[in-house]
Amino acid sequence: MSSSTNAWESENTMRDVLRSVRHVLAMDAFANKSTLAFLKIYRGEDIHIIDNRYQPRVGETVEFIYDSNSGAEAMRIGYDLLKQGKRVAFVSTGAMMARALVEKASKLSKPDNSPVRAPYTNTVEAGISFEVTGHFDIVIAITNIATPVHVEALAQMLYRIHDCSRRIVSIFYQKNSNELFRPPGHENIRAELENAWPNNLPTAIKGHREWDNNTISYKIDESPAVITFIEVEHQKRLSARFFIEKLCSLIASTGASLQLIKMDENREVIGNRKRIRNEVRVETLVIKETDFNAVATSRNLSLEEAEVL
């Protein structure tokens, strides 16, 4: 609802559904006070909460890499294992990077010269789990700590493949991101929305801001859509500032151990790391250009399809 080009219609539809149906089952990995307030507006006090926390993972170890080169070391480890015939699952909070990783992997060969099969799905964060026991040899998560994806979401993505003997988390900070410098706080975000230029106003807020002649400024209302958007933005900024601490805390709360991996500084390894990172970067640029051309040359593309691309 917060990103759709039809946010206003989506909000009205959600309101009508919540008011008209007999029972509502809401599953939210990041439920908070704002989520409950949103539901109470339409459902009163008849709300019951079931808190299903992470399953215990005592005896497991999650390996961490802090890699300033955008996760290149984790990519190298994963591709080396793929070429050995191992089954590797990459988890990425960036859709472009995920698609580029798959494109790169599909060009690799196993020891018997058979091609590496590299399927891609964007449904992992949405709650689709992989339940087959022992299928994957390793899960490798790669993320920028200033990602718009919540740290809780990455933790869940890491464990969507339930049974796996090894997990690696590679984290980096992209210096051209400004997420770390945007202050959290509900009042700060509300002030930003009220002072934003119309073209810079998030889609979910359009229709919720009006000009106030008394204060000679814009004011946004107190609708559930606004309250929810501000809470999500607040949590996102907190996540960016304390991403590493929160991720380590979430994993440790399952009973798993954490281990910091020292990067291999062998000259040949460094060369391979740089080569792989450059190849993935090229794949990303190709995907972006392909998507752009798809939008530019399509005559029947809807607004929603264009936004997805």
Full set of structural domains in the chain with CATH = 61-178+236-308 (3.40.50)
| Residues 251-264 pLDDT 10s | 898 889 999 988 88
Q: How far is CA 243 from CA 74, 137, 165, 248, in A?
A: 19, 26, 25, 9
* Report field, pTM of the whole predicted structure over 0.85: no
Q: What pLDDT is recorded for position 10? A: 66
Burial class (CB in 10 A: 0-12, 13-18, 19+), 259: exposed
Which residue type is seen at 31?
A
Q: What pLDDT is recorded for position 75? A: 92
What is the band of 2 on the pLDDT scale with cuts at 50, 70, 90? Answer: very low
Distance CA 225, CA 210 (A): 15
Which residue type is seen at 89?
A
| Residues 5-63 pLDDT 10s | 455 566 677 778 877 888 877 766 556 666 677 777 777 767 777 766 556 788 899 99
Residue 138, strand partner residues: 88
| Residues 118-157 pLDDT 10s | 766 665 555 567 777 888 999 999 988 876 667 877 888 8
Mean predicted lDDT score pLDDT of the chain = 79
